[in-house]
Amino acid sequence: MKKISKILLITPPYHSGVVESAGVWLNVGFVYIAGSLRTAGYDPVYYDAMSHWHKLETIGKRIQAEKPDVVATTAFTAGIVDALKVLKLAKEINPHIVTVIGNVHPTFCYEEMFRDHAAYVDYIVRGEGEETLVDLLNTLNAGGDVSKVKSIVYMDNGNLAVTPSRGFIKDLDALPLAWDLVDWPIYTYRTMENSRLAIVSSSRGCSQQCSFCSQQLFWQRNWRGRSPENFVGELEFLRDTYGVNVVMISDETPTLERQRWERILDLLIERNVGTKILMETRVDDILRDEDIMWKYQKADIDHIYVGVEATNQEALDLFRKEIKVEQSKRALDLINEYNIVSETSFVLGMPDDTKEKIRNTVELAKYYNPDLAFFLAIAPWPYSEIYPMLKPYIEEWDYSKYNLVEPVVKPKEMTLDEVRKELGLASKNFYMNKLRNLEKLTPEKQEFMIKVTKIIANNSYLKEHMKGEIPEEMKKFFDRLAVKAKA
C-alpha cells in the first residue's frame, strides 16, 4: 500500500446566506489540523472551497491536480449534505483516496452516515481531530490495527466499529497552527474597509446546558482555555505577519474564567495590539464584568453577541439558558453603554408559536435594543436534548435546511410558509425601527448600522424581505451622512 503523505483538507461548499453576508470566514479548525499533520511529517493542503464559492466541478479539478492520499472534510448538520458530496467526488476521482470526515454531525450521527454513505466514507473522527487524525494516518502507514485508534468510527467487514473515546487535549498552547497555508487576501469583514479577518480560538468547550445546542454535548460540558500570553501573542503574530486587523473569536464562552479573561484584556491594552475583536459570550458573564466593561472597550472589543434566544421566561427555561429576561436587557444595555456593537438572536418557530407570539417577540426585541437582532428558525438537530420534543413537528428532513434560516419544524397553528413569512417580517420590522431611530446612536454606530443594513438588504438571506423597504426619509438621511463624511 502506498504511504500516506498528502492530505487535502476541504471545507464543503455550503452556503445559507447567513454568516457569509457579513464577511469571509476561514475554518480555524483546519488550521489546527494542518499544523498537527505537518508537525507529524505529513503534507497538508488547506482548501477553503466554501469561502472561494467553488462548485463541485472546480473542487474535482483541485482534487485531480493535488493528487492527495487523503481527502478530509468537516460538517455541522446543515453542511453534511455537501460534505458527503465532496467525499463521494473524491472516491469517484480515485477509489484509493482515503476519505475522512469529522465535526459535530459525524460525531453524533455516525450510524446514519455509514448506513447511507458507507461506499465513500472510510473514517469518521469523533471529537477533537488533531491527535486522532495523526494517530489514524500513522496507524494506516504502519499497517497497524485501526481498532486501537481512539475516537474513530469505520466499517469492519460489514459491521460498524466504534472505538473508545479519546480524552480532550489538555494543553491547547502546545498545538501548532499552519497559518501560512491560509489564502489570506480572500478573508475580509464587510463592514470594515481594508480589513483582513482571521478566526481565532482562545478556548475550547462549553460548560452550559442549552437544550437546543450541540456544543455542550460535543464538548461534554468540558472547558479549557489557552493562556492569555499565548493567545494575545498569536494576535500580535497575525497582525505583524499577515496584516490581520480584525479577528472573530470562535469560542462559545471565551470569558468563562474571569481572571484569565481580564488578563487577556489587560495584555491587549498594555501591548496596544489594536486588532478589532468580534466575539460572543453569555449574558451572565457581561453582568459579572460590569466593573471592567471599560477594559472591553479599551482592548478594542468591537462587537459582542450574547445569546438571548427568547423574550419570555418560559422559553428561556425550556432552552435551559439559566438567565432571567431582565438580565438579557441589562447585558445589552451595558454593551451599548460602552459603544460596542451589540448583537443577539431569538429562536422562533417552536411547536406552540403563533403569529401573535412571534410579533410580540419582535416588539420585545425592540425594547431590548440590540444593534443587531436575528430571528432564527429552531433547528431540530438530531443529537440535541430538545430533539425528542420537536421530532413530531418536523416537516422537512433535508439536513441542508437545518441552518436556522429555513423553518423545518411546523408549529401547531402555523404552516412552514407562514413561519418563513413571519421571520422575514420580524427582521424587516426590527431593522426599519432601528433606522428610524438611527440619530439616537453614536456617530460610530450610525456608520456601522448604515453599512450593515445595506449588507442585510443586498447580500444576505433577508434580501428578499428587505428589498425596496428602506423608507424614503432614511435614504435621505443616508445621503446627508454621506455628504458629512466627505466634508
Domains and CATH numbers, the chain: 6-162 (3.40.50.2300), 188-348 (3.20.20.70)
What is the reported pLDDT for 355?
95
Please list the alpha-helical segments (H only) found in 338-371: 355-368
What is the reported pLDDT for 382?
87
What is the reported pLDDT for 216?
53
Contact 251, 203 (CB under 8 A): yes
d(CA 183, CA 47): 9
d(CA 191, CA 455): 8
Contact 398, 78 (CB under 8 A): no
Contact 345, 318 (CB under 8 A): no
In whole angstroms, what separates CA 148 from the centre of its chain? 32
Q: pTM for the complete prediction?
A: 0.89
Contact 177, 31 (CB under 8 A): yes
The C-alpha cell that represents 358 in the structure block: 412571534
Contact 12, 82 (CB under 8 A): yes
Could you tell me the CA-to-CA distances from 88 to 97, 117, 241 in Å, in that order?
Answer: 11, 9, 37
Residues 6+ away with beta carbon under 8 Å from 68: 6, 7, 8, 45, 90, 97
What is the reported pLDDT for 58?
98
What is the reported pLDDT for 289?
97
d(CA 288, CA 337): 15
What is the reported pLDDT for 316?
47
What is the reported pLDDT for 167?
85
Q: Which residues of the chain have pLDDT under 50?
A: 211, 316, 318-319, 321, 484-487
Q: In what order do the strands lie in the sheet with 197-200?
A: 197-200, 246-249, 276-281, 301-306, 341-348, 372-377
What is the reported pLDDT for 312?
55
